[in-house]
Chain A
């Protein structure tokens, strides 16, 4: 692929999603964009790139960006993260919110929906304690195609067997053709909306828990910092941000602090204690 074509395509993907593609990812561009080129009647990826030098139809641009993002996900991904949620974070929040009786959770790059549905299943275990509460789970992703999949709540034979205990499959899913569909109650429990993390979230409100896992890994430091600082502001003082197991805020932002002993868990940095006047 010529440098020029690579630049046009990687720039578009970067601008729209934040995903930074290094030059050695050229094969990935080539293999994932060939079907997109065909779909829009271009002979080659180079031709597609050529067309994108001028403002192109928005659906071509969208298809290019969505083809380059990775959507892999599974239920209860990273057992340790969900263990911390179940055993530490949710019990503390449920105790702390017993007067307000409100809990707000945001799954910020939800892909095909396994992450927010796992949260919904976990909160369902606390159904009795949460009776009468306002529990909101907001789930967003850049990809409109993924959001449509999430809303449908249909998973393949293989997807329902990765990370999901059989008891929960039996409890919350029904067979649907070759696959399985999640219960209407759980579908109602999650509010799915398209949203780009590079944009300013308007009207989202504050959250007790934000999950932003396995998405910022390929973003550059500036975008990462902007997004994490925003999330720090959107979190309740005693709220928690969960990143992927190998992700950190170190060297990116000082608005969040790692919770020692809890892998991937961060809390807003407390404001500095008021300095005592010192006698001079």
Chain B
């Protein structure tokens, strides 16, 4: 069955880049422009994967993933941070907050595929 990835990013350009890359890898996609919209989307229907930006208005990526992991069914999705933040401390913070993987921008389809396959998604 086709897996769904929720793309959470306040940049429309970023979302469309990710949408195209994920489609190439066989995923269906949904989009949200910030953390709180993403939470609403998850409460409606839990995706298999979430590609998550860090810095966003309203609710940032860290707040979102902490909130998500407290939500019923919210332990299931594989969460991949996808951000320009690239300090070791940030990576550790993201994982400790409940993320499964971490992609540093800029990235390409090979990197996305590699990170998805590390988590058994392709």
Contacts and interface: CB of A to CB of B under 8 A. Distances in A.
Contacts, number: 40
B107 A161 contact: yes
A74 to B, nearest CB: 8
A27 interface: no
B88 A161 contact: no
Interface string B93-107: 011000001111011
A169 interface: yes
A161 B87 contact: no
A79 B103 CA distance: 19
B99 to A, nearest CB: 8
A35 interface: no
A170 B91 contact: yes
Interface in A144-195: 157-158, 161-163, 165-167, 169-170, 173-175
Size bracket, chain A contacts: 10 to 19
A169 B102 CA distance: 10
Interface string A18-36: 0000000000000000000
Contact of A158 (B91, B94, B111): B111
Interface stretch (B17-25, B37-45, B113-121): B113-121
A9 B114 CA distance: 36
B110 A162 contact: yes
A162 B114 CA distance: 6
Nearest to B117: A79
B95 A161 contact: no
B63 interface: no
B110 to A, nearest CB: 6
Nearest to B99: A166
A162 B111 contact: yes
A166 B119 CA distance: 11
B86 interface: yes
A205 B115 CA distance: 38
B103 A161 contact: yes
Most B CB atoms within 10 A — which of A157, A166, A170, A174?
Answer: A166
B114 A170 contact: no
B86 A175 contact: yes
Contacts of A166: 91, 94-95, 101-102
Nearest to B108: A158
A170 B92 contact: yes
Interface in B44-97: 86-88, 91-92, 94-95
Given A74-B114, A161-B103, 4 more contacts: A161-B104, A166-B95, A170-B95, A174-B88
20 contacts: A74-B114, A157-B106, A158-B110, A158-B111, A161-B103, A161-B104, A163-B114, A163-B118, A165-B101, A166-B91, A166-B94, A166-B95, A169-B88, A169-B91, A170-B88, A170-B95, A173-B88, A174-B88, A175-B87, A175-B88
